[in-house]
């Protein structure tokens, strides 16, 4: 049976690396995986989505209303893509909003984090502060791996396979930081 995961964020947050880690973990376990990415002006802070279908038999794209798990690296992206979740699906999100620089020049009002969390309140949600945990791990760039760790409780792959996939997919000099980030995220996901 297919398990569908949609990973969303803004350009530069590492959604594609996160989907590569999931794909590598599937390969380590001998599971079928299909994935695809879409980029919307990603280099300018636009939306990026990565579709990962574990044990999927059909195409790589997830249809709205069918995802088992939504992993959002940005709180506004969680709100934007919530319609992809199926009834009973899980949402694991970063508690923070990444405000693109274009907002400042266009004077667009951005809701605060509590307002967005309230709008998501009807979902099964785990919200963590990925930036704080990444800083604790040793690099703000490891937020994507923190988020995978937090979501790992809902992913039908072994935590050992996921940790090994992190080691294989990140640059060698960042392995230690990213392994710590995965562990901190996993602990945070367990508490929520």
Are 48 and 71 spatial neighbours (Cβ–Cβ below 8 Å)? Answer: no
Q: Kind of pairing, strands 3-10 and 47-54?
A: antiparallel
Identify the band that residue 11 occupies on the pLDDT scale cut at 50, 70 and 90.
confident
Residues 6+ apart with CB under 8 A from 136: 180, 184
Distance CA 186, CA 192 (A): 10
Return the higher-pLDDT residue of 101 and 179.
Answer: 179
Asked whether residue 103 carries a pLDDT value surpassing 70, the answer given is no
pLDDT tens digit sequence for 45-56: 678 899 999 998
Distance CA 9, CA 71 (A): 9
Q: What is the pLDDT of residue 98?
A: 79
Residue 180's Cα: distance from chain center in Å?
17
Q: What is the pLDDT of residue 45?
A: 63
Give the mean pLDDT of 103-116: 73
Please check whether the domain covering 3-191 is classified as CATH 2.130.10.10.
Answer: no
Which percentage of the chain shows pLDDT scores above 70?
A: 91
Domain definitions of the chain by residue range? 3-191
Asked whether residue 130 carries a pLDDT value surpassing 70, the answer given is yes
């Amino acid at each position: 049976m297919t398990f569908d995961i949609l990973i969303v964020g803004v350009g530069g947050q590492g959604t594609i690396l996160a989907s590569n880690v999931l794909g590598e973990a599937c390969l380590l376990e001998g599971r079928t995986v299909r994935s695809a990415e879409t980029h919307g002006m990603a280099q300018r802070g636009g939306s990026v989505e990565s579709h990962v279908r574990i044990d999927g038999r059909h195409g790589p794209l997830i249809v709205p209303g069918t995802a088992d798990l939504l992993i959002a690296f940005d709180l506004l992206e969680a709100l934007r893509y919530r319609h992809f979740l199926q009834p009973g699906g899980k949402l694991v999100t970063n508690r923070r909003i990444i405000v693109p620089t274009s907002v400042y020049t266009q004077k667009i009002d951005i809701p605060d984090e509590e307002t967005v969390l309230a709008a998501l309140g009807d979902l099964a949600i785990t919200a963590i502060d990925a930036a704080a945990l990444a800083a604790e791990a040793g690099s703000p760039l490891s937020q994507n791996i923190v988020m995978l760790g937090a979501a790992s409780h809902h992913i039908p792959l072994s935590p050992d396979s996921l940790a090994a996939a992190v080691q294989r997919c990140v640059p060698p000099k960042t392995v230690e930081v990213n392994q710590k980030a995965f562990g901190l995220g996993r602990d945070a996901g367990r508490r929520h």
